């Protein structure tokens, strides 16, 4: 029995191996290529040749806005053997395809797409040996829901370039300080991003204003970035969103792409008020007596509230995002505390007259009569004397 069984086992193994190598595929297509009637070895040769032909021309990737990008075929690789091994019954099968993200990244620079947006349709087309990739199929999930335009400094440009393509899944956080260490450049950038995210349902996790509103920063959108302060938001939606940065020469446009929000969002700064500054007078002995100088210019204080407005068919809802208050800066005038010196004594002034030609005697006959003292002699006036009684009777 033992001698008979050994060759029997060997024969069975041989027949099994022979069956595998001689088996043919029935009514089977891979990436649109018919391999019906072929053995696995024949199918491998057929598919390898098809892949080589496919690699001769680049992909044409059509973006949502109609822009066409040419992407080299070296960004994908195919596994023909594993594809054939997985076939168990007749039908249509795609080629198992993998994508090299490091190689495709340069093609996506300064384009309104992210790796996540491009990878699925690119793999889908490549697995069917189709060189045309269209992104219209994902347009609904990648609308521009918010955007801003900024004139960047070189340091700001560097941070924005690192930010390009950043994706936030549901619950993920965006932290501005993770894109650079130049706080002076991140501060104005943070103010612009705050304005962008204020018009979305994203939750503002961290935002610190300055003590004094910086020049050029709009009231309500002040953001301070330093060693202890940051700007961060969280994606509170159930869909992923991505940040796309478009370099347009002197300006750069930042777009937030994703599924359209339920309702329209905007931000408003309201209840703006100004606070007058005070005048403060100080004294110093270091200034010359009677002098003064303005040692600090006054600045009016101001305040304002930032609201997030959501408009739906049911009406308008408001959410208070921040209340910024900047104290007025008093005007400080420093005056000298040194007393003024007493006035110098002044001698009385004795008036002097020119020499006179007249003598002391006012009745000097030698004075010439110039006619001013002339007068006409009048006859003497007799006083009325009452008449005597005798004369009266007569």
Query: So where are the chain's domains?
Result: 11-141, 142-261, 263-338
What per-residue confidence (pLDDT) applies to 41? 93
The winner for highest mean pLDDT among 192-196, 279-283, 359-363 is 192-196
Does the pLDDT value for residue 88 go beyond 60? yes
Q: Which band of pLDDT confidence, cut at 50, 70 and 90, is reported for residue 345? A: confident
User: How far out from the chain centre does Cα 108 lie?
Assistant: 23
What per-residue confidence (pLDDT) applies to 340? 85
Average pLDDT over residues 111-137: 85
Ramachandran angles phi, psi of 98, nearest 5°: -125, 150
The pTM (predicted TM-score) of the whole model is 0.64
Q: Which band of pLDDT confidence, cut at 50, 70 and 90, is reported for residue 343? A: confident
User: Where on the phi/psi map is residue 220: left (φ > 0), alpha (ψ -120 to 50), or beta?
Assistant: left
Average pLDDT over residues 355-373: 54
Task: Work out the mean pLDDT of the chain and round it to a whole number.
Answer: 84
Report the share of the chain in percent with pLDDT over 70.
82
Q: Give per-residue burial for 221-258: e unless 16+ CB within 10 Å, then b.
A: bbbbbeeebbbbbbbebeebbbbbbbeeeeebbbbbbb
Does the pLDDT value for residue 8 go beyond 90? no
155, two tokens: 């340091």
Cα–Cα distances (Å) from 394 to 385, 386, 390, in that order, read 17, 15, 6
Within a 10 A sphere around the Cβ of 77, how many other Cβ atoms?
Answer: 13
Average pLDDT over residues 81-92: 93
Within a 10 A sphere around the Cβ of 163, how many other Cβ atoms?
Answer: 20
263-338 has which CATH code?
Answer: 2.20.230.10
Within a 10 A sphere around the Cβ of 383, how many other Cβ atoms?
Answer: 5
What per-residue confidence (pLDDT) applies to 239? 92
């Amino acid at each position: 029995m033992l001698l008979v069984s050994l060759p029997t086992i060997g024969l069975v193994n041989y027949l099994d191996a022979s069956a595998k190598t001689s088996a043919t595929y029935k009514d089977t297509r891979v990436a649109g290529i018919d391999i019906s009637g072929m053995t696995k070895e024949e199918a491998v040769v057929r598919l390898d040749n098809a892949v080589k032909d496919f690699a001769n021309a680049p992909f044409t990737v059509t973006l949502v806005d109609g822009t066409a990008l040419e992407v080299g075929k070296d960004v994908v690789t195919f596994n023909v053997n594993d594809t054939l091994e997985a076939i168990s019954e007749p039908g249509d099968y795609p080629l198992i395809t993998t994508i090299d993200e490091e190689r495709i990244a340069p093609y996506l620079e300064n384009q309104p797409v992210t790796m996540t947006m491009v990878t699925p349709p690119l793999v889908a087309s490549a697995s069917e040996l189709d060189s045309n990739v269209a992104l219209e199929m994902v347009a609904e999930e990648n609308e521009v829901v918010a955007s801003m335009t900024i004139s960047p400094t070189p340091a700001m440009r560097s941070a924005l370039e690192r930010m390009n393509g950043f994706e936030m899944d549901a619950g993920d956080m965006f932290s501005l300080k993770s894109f650079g260490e130049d706080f002076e450049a991140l501060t104005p950038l943070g103010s612009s991003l705050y304005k962008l995210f204020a018009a979305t349902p994203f939750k503002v996790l961290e935002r610190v204003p300055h003590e004094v509103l910086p020049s050029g920063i709009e009231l309500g959108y002040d953001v301070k970035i330093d060693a202890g302060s940051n700007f961060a938001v969280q994606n509170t939606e159930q869909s992923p969103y991505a940040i796309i940065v478009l370099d347009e020469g002197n300006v750069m446009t930042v777009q937030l792409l994703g599924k359209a929000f339920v309702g329209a969002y905007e931000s408003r700064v309201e209840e703006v008020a100004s606070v007058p500054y005070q005048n403060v007078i100080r004294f110093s002995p270091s200034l010359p007596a009677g002098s003064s100088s303005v040692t600090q210019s006054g600045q009016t204080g101001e305040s304002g509230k930032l609201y997030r407005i959501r408009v739906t068919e049911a009406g308008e809802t408001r959410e208070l995002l921040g209340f910024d208050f900047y104290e007025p800066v008093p005007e400080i005038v420093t005056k000298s505390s040194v007393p003024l010196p007493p006035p110098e004594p002044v001698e009385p002034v004795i008036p002097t007259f020119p020499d006179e030609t007249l003598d002391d005697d006012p009745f000097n006959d030698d004075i010439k009569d110039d006619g001013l003292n002339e007068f006409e002699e009048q006859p003497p006036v007799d006083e009325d004397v009452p008449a005597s009684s005798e004369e009266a009777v007569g």
